[in-house]
Every structure is written in structure tokens, then in C-alpha cells.
Amino acid sequence: MVRTIALLIGAAFVAALGFALFGTIKTAITDPAPESAEHVFHVHPEDIGLKSAGLLGKFDLQQVQRGFQVYKEVCSACHSLKYVHFRDLTKIGYSAGQVKAIAEAWVIEQPTINPETGEAATRKNVPADPFPSPFANEIAARAANNNALPPDLSLITKAREDGSNYVHALLMGYRDQPAELVKDFPGSKTPKGLHYNPAFANLNIAMPPPLTQDGQITYADGTKATKDQMARDVAAFLTWSAEPNLESRHGAGLATVVFLAIFLFLVWGAYQNVWRDQKH
């Protein structure tokens, strides 16, 4: 008797769930939710084909150095790189002497304490230091950026979906808001102080266009600094900053696959040898 009641209760519960699911599916088909402006006008990043992409990708160190130059001359005014140290630049081809010179010449100095007065002070950067933040704290950062907090860029390509391509798409995505957006979605006009960028999640971003024109910087290697080139290069640099050991990880993965293939072959050979005289 108890079993029968339990089965009936279970069957009723399953039937209720099935009815609810059917109703949800029917509603979604017959009365779908209206599309949002973000869904219609959002632009997905295109593949920029960085050499570091793929299972066996390797960094183009010349491109990464150009990207560092873009970060240094354009992005560092607002964005920190707190998980990267100056000495890490040796991994992208700079010599120890060059790194020391870069650290000492960096515009923003390291915060410290004056040992004589106990007051806040600054000092020159050394290779062991992380890249200093352009702002003293979050309040100062928001005050300088219309209450928007510029994100740290150390891990930005890991924090955003399709990170490397996203960085490029965002930097190249600034444009005038299309008239059809406001026409089709009243109330979607870009608010004052924001900038229309369809590569951004909600189409409007507080950061002004950082790359404004071709030739904005002069590359040390002579490469023509178009907006697209600068966007690609800084995307390559930020890909490196998020995963500087990418090449060694790829190498370790390849070695592991080769080892497993050899191991499986040896196991198969041992199996055949042990059971070759056995009748099935």
C-alpha cells in the first residue's frame, strides 16, 4: 500500500514537471521574448590570427614588444598591469639593461614611505617592481574617469570571452551610434559621457577611444602604426601578460601526448606478447 502511494506521488510529480516544461516550451515558441538592442547590434570579435593561438602557438616576440610600446604610450595612463613585473620583459626579448632603463624611465614611480618623515613618497622603479598603478586608489581612479573604474589589464584576455580577439574588436569598435538602433529601440540612445561600441556587452562604454588615428605612436622597429596594427599588437602583448608561460605549457602538453602515445603502444605490445599463446 505504501509503495503504491509513493509511486502515485512520484508519477504526479513527474507529470507536473512535464506539464510545466511543455508550457514553458510552448510559450517560448508561440510568444518569444522580444530581442534586445544588445542582442541585435552586438558585434562578435573576428579572429585576428595571432601566432600564439592554437594548440602549438608561439608568441611573435617582435609583435609583443610593439604591443608593450602601445601599452606604455597609450594604455598605461589609465590601466594598471599589477601582476606583471618589469623584469618579466626579459621574456619577450629585452635585455637586462634595457629592462632596467625602462623601469627607471617609467613616468609613474613606486609608492613608498619616507624613512625620515614617515610621509608618503615615491621612488624610481627597479626591475623587481610590478608595473605601478596610474592611480593611488580606486576612488582616485573613478574620480579621473567619470566614476568608471579602468580594469587592470594583466589578465584581461583571460577575463573576457575570446580575450585576444575581444581586445582588438573593442579597440576598433568605436563608431557613431546607428540611427536604426534608436528608431527600433527607443531609449537606447548612448548616454552622455559614454561611447557607442558594439563590441562591448551593453553597447556603451565609459572609456573614450584610446586609438584615435594612424601613426599615433612611432614603432621602434619601423612598422607602420595603423590603428588596426596597434590594436592587434596590444592584444598580442596582453595575451602574453595573461599567460607568459604559454609556450612552455604547449611544449609540456605536446611532450605528454607523445609520451602517452608511446606508452599505449608499449602496453599494446606487452598485451599481445603475454596473450599470444592463449586460446580464446
pLDDT computed for residue 97 by the predictor: 97
Strand partners, 110: 123
pLDDT value of position 33: 47
Check the annotation: does 75 bind a ligand: yes
Lowest model confidence (mean pLDDT) among 21-25, 65-69, 149-153, 249-253: 21-25
At residue 259, does pLDDT exceed 60? yes
Angle separating helix axes 61-73 and 227-242, nearest 10 degrees: 100
44 known ligand binder: no
Cell numbers of 74, please? 597609450
Record the pTM: 0.82
Q: Annotation-wise, does 78 bind a ligand? A: yes
HSE (CB half, 13 Å, CA atoms) of 224? 3
Amino acid of residue 137: N
Query: Is the Cβ–Cβ distance between 199 and 173 less than 8 Å?
Result: yes
- State yes or no: pLDDT of 10 exceeds 80: no
Tell whether residue 207 is among the known ligand binding residues: yes
* 32-36, 79-83, 108-112, 195-199, range with the lowest pLDDT: 32-36
Which three cell numbers mark 18? 512535464
Confidence label for 179 from pLDDT (cuts 50, 70 and 90) = confident
The values of phi and psi at residue 159, to 5°, are -80, -15
Mean residue pLDDT of the chain comes to 89
Distance CA 25, CA 44 (A): 28
Bridge-based pairing state of the strands 195-196 and 120-123 = unpaired
